A and B are shown apart, each in its own frame.
Chain A
Amino acid sequence: MKIQIDHIAKIEGHAGFVADLVGGDVIKARLNVLEGARLLEGILRGRSFEEVSSITARICGVCPVVHTLTSLKAIESAMKIYPSKQTILLRRLMMDGQLLNSHALHLFFFSLSDFFGEKDDLRLIGKYPERAKDALLIREFGNKIIEAIGGRSIHPLTPQVGGFKKMPSEEAFKNLAGQIKKVLAATEKMAVFFSHLKYPDFERRCNFVGLNLPGQYAICEGIIRVNGEKSMRIADFMPQIIEARIPGDAVKRSKWRSEPYMVGALARLNFNAEKLKPRAKKMFSRVKLNLPTQNPFYNILAQAIEMIHCAEEAEELIGEILENGIEEERPSFKIQAGKGFAAMEAPRGTLFYCYDINDEGMIEDANIITPTSQNLGRLEADLKEYLPKLEMKSRKEKEEKIKMLVRAYDPCLTCATH
């Protein structure tokens, strides 16, 4: 039997799915990524360190913030530049905005319809108007944080090597502070709503990878943890990721020690649940997820819990800014040759950047490994394991469940191909 889905909607980018089943065995299960290769890493070579982060932002219109900031961090690491405490704080706040805006989009607009067999979000909005309002409120708040600091929510403008081109105004943070209580309440309502949904039963064994940091739910920095056991520096881990392309599409799929692995909210929660902020932690204990959980569908619920955490962290950081004020800073540094690695937790999982820069500040080598290119191999392995469990279902139901699992990973094929 052959299962073929030409186009999976409600994900970022274009992909189809094809599987071959003989008897009960799945011979093949793979995602056909229908994105053109923009050759981003190639394009960056010979260009200046000052502009490459604005170029890499354009890898993704949903998560341009994390592409901008991880790119900047890799340059800073190569040129041995250490940003100020204030810069780090503002970047962390931007990343809270990034996770909030992306998760709100994914949870309500991409994944929720799968639980109700609904094809059209506009009808879903009619059915759950309050939750739709919450989702829009959270997304808009995330955008406003990014705008306040970055000047614009899609392809932010102010972040630069060592700091910012323009310092944000304190006025903007006062406005944000005025909205945070409402947003925090909305994230809690969303999480309760998502905790009451029925998640398909599908446990499997898989490797998880994510950032880890003592005392903090790691998003902007940390060391790499695999399955909660091994820890290693980003500069040691990234070169161990083996990227390979299967002929047929332009995506590279990643493996670590010959095995696919999963990055993203579920990996982060599995590693760092005890470091969640209080209200997120309270919700986490309320939803009774036993960690580590091996059910990839719970990536959705993990994102819902992360939204509370990010709103709480945003509240704290905004409070800190309002207390201490914003200091005018002009980044100063020396251009120097070097090789630098960086990783941050994008909404969809760990994003890696590596640059080799010459003494004129020009990029000689670039490598970007996105969350989806890491998750693809694991997702396909999951689909292979999951399909036999759907044996008794109709073809239509099979297709619906396949799409649901794909969307649970929150894949971004534009990122994956870049």
Chain B
Amino acid sequence: MKKNILKPSIAVVSLTCCEGCQVAILDLGARFLELTANVKIGDFSLLEDKPEEAEYDIVFVEGTPLTAENVSRLKDLRERSKFLVTIGACACLGGIAELKNYQDKEQRLKYVYKNVEGIENPDIEPVKNYVKVDLEIPGCPINNEEFLWAVKELLAGVVPKIPQRPICYECQLKQNECLLQKGLPCLGPSILGGCGATCPSNNYPCDGCRGPLRGANINNFNESLRNIYGWSQQEIDLIMQRFGMLDDSYPSPPSIRGKMEIKKIEK
């Protein structure tokens, strides 16, 4: 039997995004190359220019389904793949493109383009709202160590489970000074850890790129940011919008609060 028949086939596919997660995978360097010896890479468009495989054992999807082409590609990949993993904030949560969900997106479109004909402008939704997702590896960008761990588990036939621990867990292990207590709007307590608390370790308050912890009470957290730490609702909203936390804070935030617009914006 030929050796590579036994190798699982893998694809790394980008929808609309910055492709930083694909870059993070490449940045595993020699360790990524070692990994490729054990798998058959079917599609990884930063690295090769070959025809696609008919079927995949595992497909990794980064990016957000923004165009109709993105959506049909995603659905087609789902059908041809045994296991679909979303990687990164865009695929798992919507990413920064999702900010327009909180704004008047038609007005934003007209601001960027004089001629808007043919430009798709849907609400941004995570991949799981379009197809069944078997595993999510969050982050903006992904933590490539966590990715490597997850891939190794998958190749060993185990579905990895990211521990449901807040960012604060890793932050405390690193003995960081608490940014929240210093008065900075850090979302750490309600966000899923696993990133190594890279942001707070660099005095950058967690802005939630890995999404909320399962069962986190975002409304309560919001109230403490306001009442204990003295942040205005507008300031909290700006931060909670960044990676879509606001969706978990209120059932349908834009309609409750009105879309965020600037008065002087019409030109």
Chain A residues within CB distance 8 Å of chain B:
7-10, 12-14, 34-43, 45-48, 51, 54-55, 58-62, 64, 105, 109-110, 113, 119-122, 125, 136, 139-140, 143, 151-155, 157-158, 165-166, 245, 247-248, 250, 358, 362, 364, 403, 414
Contacts and interface: CB of A to CB of B under 8 A. Distances in A.
A54 B20 CA distance: 14
Given A10-B49, A158-B202, A58 B261 contact: no
B216 interface: no
Interface string B76-98: 00000000000000000001110
Most central of A10, A46, A55 by chain B CB within 10 Å: A46
B100 A414 contact: no
Given A37-B66, A37-B112, A120-B50, A154 B24 contact: yes
Contacts of A151: 198-199, 201-202, 204
Interface in B236-265: 238-239, 242, 260-262, 264-265
Contact of B119 (A37, A64, A136, A158): A37
Contact of B121 (A37, A62, A109, A140): A37
B16 A155 contact: no
A158 B119 CA distance: 35
A153 to B, nearest CB: 7
A42 B117 contact: no
Given A36-B70, A43-B96, A121 B48 contact: yes
Contacts of B103: 42-43, 46
Nearest to A140: B29
Interface string B95-118: 111011001010111011111011
B14 interface: yes
17 contacts: A37-B119, A38-B16, A38-B97, A39-B97, A40-B112, A42-B100, A42-B108, A43-B100, A46-B260, A48-B238, A58-B140, A122-B41, A151-B202, A152-B198, A155-B20, A158-B202, A245-B114
Contacts of A9: 45-46, 48-50
Contacts of B199: 151, 157
B46 A41 contact: no
A139 B29 contact: yes
Given A45-B262, A46-B103, A122-B47, A414 B108 contact: no
Nearest to A120: B48
A152 B199 CA distance: 9
B17 interface: yes
Most central of B15, B23, B204, B265 by chain A CB within 10 Å: B23
Contact of B21 (A41, A61, A120, A121): A61
Interface residues of B, number: 66
B29 A136 contact: yes
A399 to B, nearest CB: 11
Contacts of B48: 9-10, 119-122
A59 B112 contact: no
Given A157-B199, A157-B202, A364-B264, A122 B36 contact: yes
A13 B16 CA distance: 8
B154 interface: no
B16 A35 contact: yes
B33 interface: yes
B23 A157 contact: no
A125 B201 contact: no
A45 B48 CA distance: 38
Contacts of B141: 61, 154-155
Given A119-B50, A166-B203, 7 more contacts: A36-B16, A36-B97, A39-B97, A42-B103, A42-B107, A55-B99, A157-B199
A153 B99 contact: no
A364 B19 contact: no
Nearest to A165: B203
Contacts of B67: 34-36
